[in-house]
Structure 1
Amino acid sequence: MDSVPTAASAPRRRPRAGGTRPGKIDASVVLNGLPDPVLVVDGEGEVRFVNLEAQEFFDLSASVLEGMALAELLPPDSPVMGLIEQVRRGSRRVSQEGVVIDTPRIGPHHVTVQVAAMGDPPDHVLVTVHERSIARKIDNSLTHRHAARSVTAMAAMLAHEVKNPLSGIRGAAQLLEENAHDQDRVLTRLICDEADRIVALVNRMEVFSDERPLERTAVNIHTVLEHVRTIAQSGFARKIRFVERYDPSLPPVYGNRDQLVQVFLNLIKNAAEAAPETGGEITLTTAYQHGVRMALPGGDTRLHLPLQVSVQDNGDGIPEDLQSNLFDPFVTSKVNGTGLGLALVAKLIGDHGGTIEFDSQPRRTVFKVSLPMYDESQISQAVSRVRGVRGGR
């Protein structure tokens, strides 16, 4: 006869620490941890809940969004309204790719929208917005880094193979100039000037071949932006109106102040040159985002990139044929441009372990830079590793 397990012999579940079951997880905590914007819309078409990503996406706080009619947030003819109506008619879940969400506050965004019935309450629907995938962001970031590395190799080659012959050419032109007639002296001066111009270009490119470890510390990004804005308004952007949308609660960036100044000086200079002569406007925005973790070059350390800085202008936009290669060297739409500014920006951001991306539409071009925040525990680990290497010598 088979034995029947008694209470004493039956296997017992291992008791949880503390002897009690954990409390129920709040659904809002889970939704706030998602990397995509999520909205809950009730049967009257009002927004009842938004997660943190939705607040960042629409650039509005939960206190403003929750209770707002969706028709006030999105145009009445938005495809999102049609998707919600399909779910109201009985569809369990519907989605559509290539939807353009366009508001005066955030401009156009090309997204995928998914709408699903919640069931409880029965008249509520869940709207999820999928922006460009994280994989695509990482792929773009790596592409920009590869472009910067191609400039690094070119810079090393040019420094060795070009500058020395140019020095000889310039010296020969100066010797000819001593005994040349006035008409010929114009030509020798042209040779010297063009040789100097090429050397100056090579000197600019040599910055890319600097492979020394980046010296980083805690940097207040708002101090950097204010410094760059002051420089800009004192010179090339004196006729531009600046709009600042800063989040004063941001923690410091883990970065190199001088290089960050160079990054945003280049971006703001490009924005100023793209802005119209009359009514030119540059918007500087800082925000905290939940997003991608990226590996620092030359190591296995992965940094969270929660700090986002945006530089937006109201110019005509970037020509479509340049957008796919915008961070490559010598790609530019400027008549006298060298096409090295954005390549340098990509290198410096890559050295920080950060990412840079852009979105360009007529009257609205925005560059978004994501950077790591200062983490004392990571700094301590880095110092310990350096000391360990030194101690082993």
Structure 2
Amino acid sequence: MYSLLIDHLSTAIVQLNDRLEIEYLNPAAEMLLAVSRRRVQGHNIGVAFREDDASINALYASIESGYPFTKREAEIECSNNKKLFCDYTVTPVMGTSNDTESLIIELYPRDRMKRISQEDEIIANHESSKELVRGLAHEIKNPLGGIRGAAQLISRAFTDEALNDYTQVIIEESDRLRDLVDRLLGPRQLPKNKPLNIHKVIERVRQLISVETDHKIEFIRDYDPSIPDLIGDESQLIQALLNITRNAMQALMEDTNNHQKTIHMATRALRQFTIGSKRHRLVCKISIIDNGPGIPDALLKTLFYPMVSGRADGTGLGLSIAQSVVHQHHGIIECNSYPNKTEFNLLIPIETIIQD
């Protein structure tokens, strides 16, 4: 009866003996850790999931002392090399001689909550920066129009060509600042939405980058052909993907120690997927992964802010504009970066939004 109850729990349960060998996994644990009970039973815990040495020592200490403990925000690595963020509680089970016979580990995955929290933060930061830029644009463009108009009037009053050169500089620089403000604001037109094949968009971007780099970067394509057409603005999505892929290209080309430069372009269909606080029946996930040096940790949190760039000659507008475009399509861009792997994921809903 007890075994039947544990098998029907949604909480992942792992039972270990005093040598940290697996005695039992319930179905929830099999699903979470992506392992079969029969394959791992009798083997060391490391065949199901791995953590650092300090955590293994804590398990042995719990066996010795008989005291339970809980660990928060643990990062464990499964047998398929997938990493999971979870909380877990370890409870020693005492035998008849008051010695610990086994450990019960209850695993509570935190990945979904962590991702939703991160997405909410990205969306909130994007909205805040957009409002800030709108206010700044208003304050800049009003006097800028007056400066440009005054320079034009002065140039008409001068007959000296040398003086006209100075007023022309004022006019040109005013136009340059106006264009910069317009770029900060992102796309000025509403998306011209129509059904489109996302793989056609990705292939267009791949061709442009290949020509730009003279085919010095290897592209690995991993597309899901089952993804249906989504509703979007083709030119805007090309621009968003081009901005992200060009950043990857520039990082790779500047990395002189990397002699096998690759960009991995993949698509997947995600079902019943939550973006922020909204759940969607079907979401298109577009991944752009490069094997470059990675993005510094200090830059990751402000990566999508306007005018933030990790390159000396960068404008800091490419990723901000890309996020604005995807946001107009009710989606979001996420980024994870480590040495030799930087991954941008564009998540764009395909079907109608379901409110949670």
The alignment's TM-score, normalised by the length of structure 2, stands at: 0.68
2:132 to 150, 163, 173: 150
1:239-285 CA distances to partner (integer Å, 9 max, x unpaired)? 22223333333344343333222221111111222222433332223
Aligned to 1:274: 251
- The code of the aligned residue for 2:176 comes to R
Once the two structures are TM-superposed, the CA of residue 220 in structure 1 deviates from its matched residue by: 3.1
1:360 to 325, 337, 342: 337
- 2:183 matches 1:204: yes
Once the two structures are TM-superposed, the CA of residue 76 in structure 1 deviates from its matched residue by: 6.7
Identity of aligned residues (%): 23
Q: Kindly indicate whether the alpha-carbon contact (under 8 Å) linking 1:98 and 1:111 is maintained by their aligned counterparts in 2.
A: yes
Aligned to 2:237: 260
Matches of 1:177 and 1:39, distance apart in 2:
88
Once the two structures are TM-superposed, the CA of residue 327 in structure 1 deviates from its matched residue by: 1.9
2:285 to 308, 314, 324: 308
Aligned to 1:129: 109
Matches of 2:242 and 2:31, distance apart in 1:
29
**Kindly tell me: are residues 180 and 140 of structure 1, through their superposed partners in 2, closer, same or farther at Cα, counting changes over 3 Å?**
closer
1:72-111 CA distances to partner (integer Å, 9 max, x unpaired)? 575574666567667878979754234344689868x683
Matches of 2:38 and 2:212, distance apart in 1:
44
1:71 to 23, 26, 46: 46
Once the two structures are TM-superposed, the CA of residue 338 in structure 1 deviates from its matched residue by: 2.1
Matches of 2:77 and 2:35, distance apart in 1:
21
Summarize the alignment of residues 319-334 of structure 1 with structure 2, pairs less than 5 Å apart. Answer: 319-334=296-311
**How large is the Cα RMSD of the aligned pairs?**
4.7
2:162 to 154, 177, 180: 180
Q: Kindly indicate whether the alpha-carbon contact (under 8 Å) linking 2:35 and 2:79 is maintained by their aligned counterparts in 1.
A: no
**Kindly tell me: are residues 51 and 250 of structure 1, through their superposed partners in 2, closer, same or farther at Cα, counting changes over 3 Å?**
farther
Once the two structures are TM-superposed, the CA of residue 115 in structure 1 deviates from its matched residue by: 5.0
1:44-81 CA distances to partner (integer Å, 9 max, x unpaired)? 549965789858xxxxxx58998467635755746665
Summarize the alignment of residues 216-295 of structure 1 with structure 2, pairs less than 5 Å apart. Answer: 216-236=193-213, 238-275=215-252, 276-277=255-256, 278=258, 279-287=260-268, 288=270, 290-294=272-276
Q: Kindly indicate whether the alpha-carbon contact (under 8 Å) linking 2:217 and 2:263 is maintained by their aligned counterparts in 1.
A: yes
Aligned to 2:99: none
Q: Secondary structure at the match of 2:289?
A: strand
Higher strand proportion (structure 1 or 2): 2
1:274-333 CA distances to partner (integer Å, 9 max, x unpaired)? 22243333222333265425578xxxxx64564322222233333333333222221122
Q: Kindly indicate whether the alpha-carbon contact (under 8 Å) linking 1:282 and 1:313 is maintained by their aligned counterparts in 2.
A: yes
Structure 1 unaligned segments of length 5 or more: list them. 1-23, 56-61, 297-301, 379-393
Aligned to 1:383: none
- The code of the aligned residue for 1:373 comes to I
Aligned to 1:299: none
Summarize the alignment of residues 3-82 of structure 1 with structure 2, pairs less than 5 Å apart. Answer: 44-45=21-22, 54=32, 67=39, 71=46, 74-75=49-50, 77=52, 81=56
Matches of 1:315 and 1:144, distance apart in 2:
26
**Number of aligned pairs?**
329
**Kindly tell me: are residues 203 and 144 of structure 1, through their superposed partners in 2, closer, same or farther at Cα, counting changes over 3 Å?**
closer
**Kindly tell me: are residues 125 and 294 of structure 1, through their superposed partners in 2, closer, same or farther at Cα, counting changes over 3 Å?**
closer
